[in-house]
Amino acid sequence: MSAGVDLSEFYDTFFDEADELLANMEQLLLGLDLSNPDSDDLNGIFRAAHSIKGGAGTFGCFEELAKTTHLLENLLDLIRHGELALRQDMIDLFLETKDVLTDQVAAYRGSEKPDQQVYERICAQLRQLALEHQQGVAAPAASAPAAAPAAPAASAAPAAASAPAGDLPVHVRVNNIQDKDVEPLSTEMGLMGEILHKEHADGHLSLWLRTNTPASDLEAVCCFIVNADQVTITHEALPGAAAPAQAAPAAQAAPAAPAVAQPAAAPEQPTAAPSQPEPHAEATAPTSADHPDPSHKAKKESGTIRVGVEKVDQIINLVGELVITQAMLMQASQSLDPVLHDRLLSGIEQLERNARDLQESVMSIRMMPMDYVFSRFPRVVRENAHKLGKQIKLVTKGQATELDKSLIERIIDPLTHLVRNSLDHGIETPDVRVAQGKSPEGTLTLSAQQYGGQIIIEVVDDGGGLNRERILKKAISQGFPVSEATPDDELWQLIFAPGFSTAEKVTDISGRGVGMDVVRRNIQNMGGHVQLSSRKGEGTTTRIVLPLTLAILDGMSVKVGEETFILPLSHVTESMQATPEQIHRISETEQMLHVRGEYLPVVALHEVFGVRDAEADLTKAIAVILQAEDQRFALMVDHLIGQHQVVVKNLETNYRKVPGISAATILGDGSVALIVDVFALRRTASMHTMAA
């Protein structure tokens, strides 16, 4: 590649791929069985480190990242080839290294230098582990009989020829290679196995390797330096290995010769022999490397395309404008004669269907599986359970359930806090669990499922459950209006009150200054709500309900005076016209609506926002019953207009934050309608004015 080529435009792609590789590395490390590690997993971890190192080396400006991954991959290579036994402390070190690599990538992404002290410390630890291995290998060798000096690589041919007939070395041939690429490529191949012989002449490089690495991996490594069409990988005997066969008569005259001459028959064995790989060898039939499928690479490359989020957002905005334009046309066409304008009306209806399909397709691009969130918790559970002296098994369900990217990134912190709470305060220690007749190992379950236009995420533990007595005592001491008769469900909600905590001591697991009130507020800011349930001795369940996306909203448009408001349809349970008998005044400003044995606070929307010329008589208005978390209330409006999807526009970006309003949208007639913040109305259910 020409030195004048600017590679900086590829940085973001490399950073994204590195993040994915590191996340996969962590998952594989956490799943390793110390007693019998899976060879595919070990190879996967090695390939992740090697790919990052190769990418970092290609750019030439990510020195710390390249050196750290180089040290890591050397150790991983020893482990995957059985030369170094895997231990728990190694996995801990590799996980810590993964964290350092993640921080290094983040630093480079932000055009900063990685932390030098952390870099030097982790490299020193990796070198120390490698040194311990070298000393352990060298110690037995010292007591062995003196061996002859090692011969040059080229002279290793006869020794290699003494291998079994089916164990032919791998021949890597690179055509039209530049002189400057010979040593880097040879070094890379040396990391993949033992170089038995090397030839370089007239722009061609041939390497014979003893390795268990599949041909596809060898080719991938070569492609860091040269192009794929320059590389040919086969299984061939070393040059000159057949010579002893021709000298067989002479060998009969020399008693010492048969030991060397006997393996001469190896090249005559069927070339299909390598199709019987060693148990450790990756089953990617070596013979397939001789006849690669030309369509394989094309299929592999056409599977995905990496596109910046900002481009997707731009498309979503344009589709939103298209939907608004379509709604305008639909509204304008309602006054047309269907007989005279049949084709026009049919076209507008077709446009509506196409716009909705296009909108749903574009929105699906932003959707990400919940596994993006769930995959980080095996590490959290593993490390915190160790710190707390607990045995905890993590179970995940519904990893394929999808959620909008903007939401999936914002749900990580609240979910992490809930998980830490369950680990610290929910699940008991093994001795306590055994004393209660439970298994010593606790279970923490993370699940996600789609329900209509919402996603339900649950954090469930089988611990001791919430302590009613302690919560009640704390609530009374803080002046909350509760008593012994307060139902559990109402009492549990106090946990979300600001500053409310029953923890006897603050720990570094869950006691991080972030209360459950912050968790609930963050979830509400995403248009969702959180519910809590618990049974003593059986565990606690925290349920989070979120919209699948914040870009589109299924809403009910209502009229108040001359203003139009949008109510999120997910919070609407029913609508009705109240009778005088159902309305009960409890003060000059507060009224309740009696609905099937339940008394609901009444909120008049025209009073909340100061709308003029609205219907003030509650018996003539429409009561829309809204559900916000655990509370229901009646919202009084003048008229119901209808239900439809609306494109959500951020009000703060275009205007300013308005209390009681979450966003805005543009209606079919071009006017702006405000989308009501149901949670803000719930908080003002006992008052009738709000500062504008």
* The pLDDT value given to residue 165: 36
Mean pLDDT of 517-537: 86
Own/partner pairs, 89-94, CB within 8 angstroms, 24+ separation: 90/129, 91/29, 91/32, 91/34, 93/125, 93/126, 93/129, 94/29, 94/45
* The pLDDT value given to residue 14: 87
Q: Which fold has domain 8-135?
A: Four Helix Bundle (Hemerythrin (Met), subunit A) (1.20.120)
* The pLDDT value given to residue 494: 84
Query: Binning pLDDT at 50, 70 and 90, where does residue 288 land?
Result: very low
Angle, nearest 10°, between helix axes 377-388 and 412-421? 30
Query: Binning pLDDT at 50, 70 and 90, where does residue 192 land?
Result: confident
CA–CA separation, 258 and 248 (whole Å): 9
Mean pLDDT of 60-67: 88
| Residue ranges per structural domain of the chain | 8-135, 160-239+269-289, 309-368, 370-547, 552-683
Three-class secondary structure of residue 662 per DSSP: strand
Burial of 501 (C-beta count, 10 Å sphere; 0-12/13-18/19+): middle
* The pLDDT value given to residue 510: 53
- The answer to which of 23-37, 286-300, 559-573 has the lowest mean pLDDT is 286-300
* CATH of segment(s) 552-683: 2.40.50.180
Count of alpha carbons within 13 Å of 16, Cβ hemisphere only? Answer: 10
Question: For 148-181, how does the pLDDT look when each residue is reduced to its tens digit (9 = 90+)?
Answer: 333 333 333 333 333 333 478 999 999 999 888 8
Mean pLDDT of 619-643: 88
pTM of full prediction above 0.75: no
Q: Which fold has domain 370-547?
A: Heat Shock Protein 90 (3.30.565)
* The pLDDT value given to residue 629: 67
Mean pLDDT across the chain, nearest whole number?
Answer: 79
CATH superfamily name and code, 160-239+269-289:
CheY-binding domain of CheA (3.30.70.400)
Mean pLDDT of 306-327: 82
Query: Binning pLDDT at 50, 70 and 90, where does residue 442 land?
Result: very high
Helix ranges, 389-526 (H): 405-410, 412-421, 430-435, 468-477, 488-492, 516-525
* The pLDDT value given to residue 508: 52
CA–CA separation, 82 and 546 (whole Å): 48
Write the CB contacts of 253 (distance below 8 Å, at least 6 apart in sequence).
none
